[in-house]
Amino acid sequence: MITITILDTNSHPVAGVQVIVKDPISHGVVTLGTTDSNGQVVLDLLGTSLLPKTYNVLFWKPFYTFGTQPLVITVTGNQTEAVTATSFQPALIVQNVCACYCYLVDATCTPVVGEIVRAKLVSNFPFSPVAGALATKTDIVATSDASGFVQLNLIQGGTYEISAPALYLTLTNFLIPAVASLDISAQLASNS
């Protein structure tokens, strides 16, 4: 058994964190769980293999980062691991630009790391409020981080085609609203 406790930077427990234990060689999921109201999850590795054994542990919760992912642990018996979580809120304080963000995760809530997400400007909207001139960059590209998070800074009022080709996700003719930040996860999921 391994007990993982996740606390934020103020030492408060973080509930609802998906914890995924993977085999470092096959990359298969060994076990998974979710932290409780005390920020703890107890994972039973009994029967998975002879100990000691090394595992990769991944953590996922929207708007949290967990340091190095995966966390590599060597299990020698019943033990406890402590992890610090840092919360954040995506926002872009630039006039007329919207921080569009999403989390890319697979069916087991494992973050999809290193996936390219592209936004192509398809409307006739040549003005860039940042430079106060014609927008010359019509393709914005970002890569998902260790938690699956990706952010695209797009012009409000512009119409974009947003895609993650390797995941077969496409959002066509998406009009960027006049807001500072926007979660596009639901729109991507419903258009995939």
Q: Would you state the structure tokens that stand for residue 180, as one six-digit string?
A: 């500072």
- Considering only 32-36, 87-91, 162-166, 173-177, which range has the smallest mean pLDDT? 87-91
pLDDT per residue as tens digits for the range 106-151: 776 677 889 999 999 887 655 555 555 455 557 889 999 877 889 9
pTM of the full structure: 0.60
The one-letter amino acid at 11: S
pLDDT in tens, 16-64: 998 988 888 887 888 889 999 999 999 987 665 666 788 888 888 878 8
Rounded Cα–Cα distance for residues 176 and 172 (Å): 12
Q: Which ranges of the chain would DSSP assign to H, the alpha helix?
A: 185-190
Q: Which domains does the chain have, with CATH numbers?
A: 2-87 (2.60.40.10), 97-190 (2.60.40)
How far is the C-alpha of 106 from the C-alpha of 52, rounded, in Å?
Answer: 29
Residue 92 has pLDDT above 70, yes or no: no
Query: Binning pLDDT at 50, 70 and 90, where does residue 88 land?
Result: confident
Would you tell me how many other CB atoms lie within 10 Å of the CB of residue 55? 22
Torsional class of 150: left (φ above 0), alpha (ψ -120 to 50), beta (otherwise): beta
59 vs 77: which has the higher pLDDT: 59
